[in-house]
A = this chain, B = another copy of it.
Amino acid sequence: MSDSEHREMWEKLDLDLNAHDALLEVLGKFYGDIFLSQDNRLKGAEYLDFVLSEVHGLRIKELQDAKSQGRKVVGSFCVFVPEEITLAADAIHVGLCAGAEAGSDLAEQLVPRNTCALIKSFIGFKLAKLCPYIESSDLIVGETTCDGKKKAYEAFNDVTPTYVMEVPQTKTKAARELWRTEILRYMAEVEKVTGKTITADKLKQGIKTLNNRRRALQRLTALRGSDPAPISGRDALLINQISFYDDPERFTAKINELCDELEARIAEKQGVAPAKTPRLLITGCPMAVPNWKLPFVIEGSGAVIVGEESCIGTRSSRDLVDESGETMDELIDALADRYMKIDCACFTPNDERQDNIADLAERVNADGVIHYSLLFCQPYSHEALKVDRTMQSKGIPMLSIETDYSMEDVEQLKTRVEAFVETLG
């Protein structure tokens, strides 16, 4: 795809071309420094590099081509939106831009200053006309997972129509019933937007497709338990990030190939860092593209990241949907049950997250845990205190980091992370 074709497409999507050029330039430079500079990188990383380099290019072209053939695009911000339903209507499901400082000054006219960077980012991306995914979406889906997003979607809806799903706050039977109703409501909305009828067969196929994606990611998680670490945390995070953008079948095939390569590496005791390098598990808020700040700081501090307990990490891949159902009722039940297993901090209580972090730390042989909260993210900031107590009780060292998307605190973060990594030596 030529530069002029790119620009023509972006222009049709009404992006701010100059600001978008500047964004891509920064992103490219950032990507080079953080990813391309790595030693002992996998051959399979070529796929990652290509997808990322074309994340606003070829992938958007694919969406446009699909749209011109009558398919619809659904954009969302959260792992609670059941992509299986989207796929069952032959629509494409993508994550929306939320990982960089963009249009913050515009966003602060719609949401309070004390709002987390992720929320300000998705609003800023829209207002500053920088996100081709938002502009390609036929349906934008929000959810009530935190006060910040819940209320921000009201303002966002004034700018671009936003459909909101109610995620319950407990895991009682009645809460599960509410959530099942919300899945059906979402299904009706998707059928309306796409003009397609979702059949049990199509839904079953959607479930299988996404379970296969989850299985590939589970395989990756398991392989990261090896020492030396066969893949960097940056590349593994990138894989998780790309899972929200790329076609699920292509992604699954590519990640399984990459896992084959990892297995060969492991057999040869090859890794991205020497054996016995301090191994860290990151847990907490999601890191959307291109929010690579903290992983870069950590892996520049003599440690290697071996897991991400996060929505853009194991939270989105840990649980499969039961594939045994045949009727629509059975399949919807299976979806409701699977999504209610998500251990998001939006639930109270959410003790299973404590168990899941401890379990993952053991499975990936982590020497320590870094809890990452976005500034003003109340659910994860609260749970950080609890995770700290859990880790203490298990004898696992933990460092709690609260930050945003700005680069102002990078040096301070480096100092704190380096000091933490030294204690693990």
**A residues neighboring B (CB under 8 Å):** 110-112, 114-115, 144, 146-148, 150-155, 157, 164, 166, 168-170, 172, 174-175, 177-178, 181-182, 185, 345-346, 348-350, 375-376, 378-379, 381-386
Contacts and interface: CB of A to CB of B under 8 A. Distances in A.
A112 B385 contact: yes
B147 A147 contact: yes
Contacts of A382: 111-112, 147-148, 151-152, 154-155
Contacts of A181: 172, 174
Contact of A147 (B168, B170, B378): B378
A302 to B, nearest CB: 29
Looking at A110, A182, A384, A385, the one whose CB has the most chain B CB atoms below 10 A away is A385
Contacts of A385: 110-112, 155
26 contacts: A111-B382, A111-B385, A112-B382, A114-B114, A144-B170, A144-B348, A147-B346, A151-B345, A151-B348, A151-B382, A151-B383, A154-B348, A154-B350, A154-B382, A155-B382, A164-B170, A166-B168, A166-B172, A166-B174, A172-B185, A174-B177, A174-B181, A174-B182, A175-B178, A177-B178, A376-B376
A386 B170 CA distance: 29
A376 B375 CA distance: 11
Given A169-B166, A348-B150, A381 B178 contact: no
Contacts of A170: 144, 164, 166
A66 to B, nearest CB: 31
Given A112-B378, A112-B381, A144-B170, 12 more contacts: A111-B382, A112-B382, A114-B114, A115-B378, A144-B348, A146-B147, A147-B147, A148-B378, A150-B348, A151-B345, A152-B382, A164-B170
A166 B347 CA distance: 10
Nearest to A351: B154
Contacts of A345: 151
Nearest to A373: B112
A154 B112 contact: no
A154 to B, nearest CB: 6
Given A177-B177, A384-B112, A385-B111, A379 B151 contact: yes
